[in-house]
Chains A and B, each alone.
Chain A
Amino acid sequence: TVPVNGSEEGKIKAPKPMKTGTTIAGVVYKDGVVLGADTRATSEEVVADKMCAKIHYIAPNIYCCGAGTAADTEKTTDMLSSNLTIFSMNSGRNPRVVMAVNILQDMLFRYRGMIGAHLILGGVDCTGSHLYTVGPYGSMDKVPYLAMGSGKLPAMGILEDRFKGNMDLEEAKALVSDAIHAGIMSDLASGNNIDLCVITKEGVDYIRPHRESIYNYKRQAKYKYKPGTTPVLNKTVNQLELVHETVQMMETAGSS
């Protein structure tokens, strides 16, 4: 709390860091990986962002869903993406999912859990389709299907019930979408729309949104105020006096 005017009254509470309170899921299917996420970001009890993007780009063939503290997942995935791009350029190879996982593990373990990032990494590389989860302390699991976030329990229920090896695309998309939907229905901190990301050897299909919430609220009126709505009571003009002017020439490539 921040005391205002040095007095006890009017203490303002600093806003809590935005957590994604999320449902994210991933499934390996016949030709690749399908990742899914809801789009609600909460700041305590208020929905801070109704169309938050939780599926982050890591590499052209690797995407990452992030649950936990929004800032941590954003920054961590950004850094990972930069590292992998540099690696790609240096070595002339396309990045592999297992490399992304190793980099994440190293970093998160070093920070001893202080970075609240619960991530699902999915991608297709020359060795096949892979789905990994990395926890905030640096633990890693490689599995064919997965759900994370506050809505993971209901989502996992759907996945455990309907997952089969070698599903085709439509089945896999429906499964992930239903798993996220279960999370949205049963978890307060998950909601709004469902994003899907399908990664195959041929490329990526980022479907945003895949399914829109039926509770999309349409604004009842316009909230723009016409100029002149607020009465002007007083007007003071302070002329700033130009005291001294200097020009400094800079050496640039184009200058003579």
Chain B
Amino acid sequence: TLEACCSRAWTSCFNSTSIMAVEFEGGVVIGADSRTTTGAYIANRVTDKLTPIHERIFCCRSGSAADTQAIADAVTYQLGFHSIELDEAPLVQTAASLFREMCYRYREELMAGIIVAGWDPRRGGQVYTVPVGGMMTRQPVSVGGSGSSYIYGYVDSNYRAGMSKEECLKFTAEALTLAMERDGSSGGVVRLAVVSEQGVERQVILGNQLPKFSTV
């Protein structure tokens, strides 16, 4: 389906992507690689695929760059408006629903795989995945993009409920590194963010600082 969807020439595509989000007690950890490709050319090797939608809600974008940027902009507006009307911080589920509405309604025209993650006072840290096609489901840990195929096994075997923030950061960094290692179309740096009641902490792990795995 990657080739079928990418039949448009000159699409800046992040289908070549690895994105991930993990819930922990008190928040979420999200991560992404930093590569955007147009065909075989890397159009941007330091892309930021972790986009803020609201103060404590982020989305990880995979799929067509143009589509996901446009959707994220639209949802940011809608959620901001909703939040002002309510005079209250929006729920992560609301953000995810807005993404789902748009991705499902325009599913024929769009190519977007989005992971919505954030913290709200009512339910704490939550991760919702809205893959291509417009389904929405909540998961404690979610991976996406072309590089995700290579790390399902790693994620399924290494995820434990009740990990701390530091453990989640290490888990995400290692999973994304492994994905970037094997997926030719993911690479660059690993961008991480922790979203919690205290706010957002962002970090970047440069290429030479990524965790090392021996490949025999």
Query: Which A residues contact B (CB, under 8 angstroms)?
Result: 105, 108-109, 112-113, 118, 133, 135-141, 143, 152-153
Contact = CB atoms under 8 A, between A and B. Distances in A.
Contact of B70 (A118, A138, A153): A138
B46 A143 contact: yes
Nearest to A160: B45
Nearest to A118: B10
Contact of A105 (B12, B44, B64, B69): B69
A73 to B, nearest CB: 14
A109 B70 contact: yes
Sorting the interface of chain B by its residue count into under 10, 10 to 19, 20 to 34 or 35 or more gives 10 to 19
Given A105-B70, A135-B65, A141 B43 contact: yes
Contacts of B38: 135
Chain B contact residues: over half helix, strand or loop, or mixed?
Answer: mixed
B213 interface: no
Given A108-B66, A135-B12, A136-B10, 16 more contacts: A109-B66, A109-B70, A113-B10, A113-B11, A118-B10, A135-B10, A135-B65, A137-B64, A137-B65, A137-B67, A138-B69, A138-B70, A139-B36, A139-B65, A140-B69, A141-B12
Nearest to B68: A139
Nearest to A156: B41
Contact of B66 (A135, A143, A152, A153): A135
Contacts of B65: 135, 137, 139
A118 B109 CA distance: 21
Contacts, number: 47
Nearest to B13: A139
A156 to B, nearest CB: 9
Contacts of B36: 139, 141
A113 B69 contact: no
Contacts of B8: 113, 137
Nearest to A68: B10
B10 A139 contact: no
A158 to B, nearest CB: 16
B137 interface: no
Contacts of A138: 66, 69-70
A137 B43 contact: no
A139 B12 contact: yes
B65 to A, nearest CB: 4
Nearest to A143: B44
Interface in B20-76: 36, 38, 41, 43-44, 46-47, 64-67, 69-70, 73
A153 B42 CA distance: 10
Nearest to B41: A153
A141 B47 contact: yes
Contact of A137 (B10, B41, B46): B10
Contacts of A135: 10, 12, 38, 43, 65-66
Nearest to B12: A139
B46 A139 contact: no
B11 A137 contact: yes
A140 B109 CA distance: 19
Nearest to B64: A137
B64 to A, nearest CB: 7
Contacts of B66: 108-109, 113, 135, 137-139
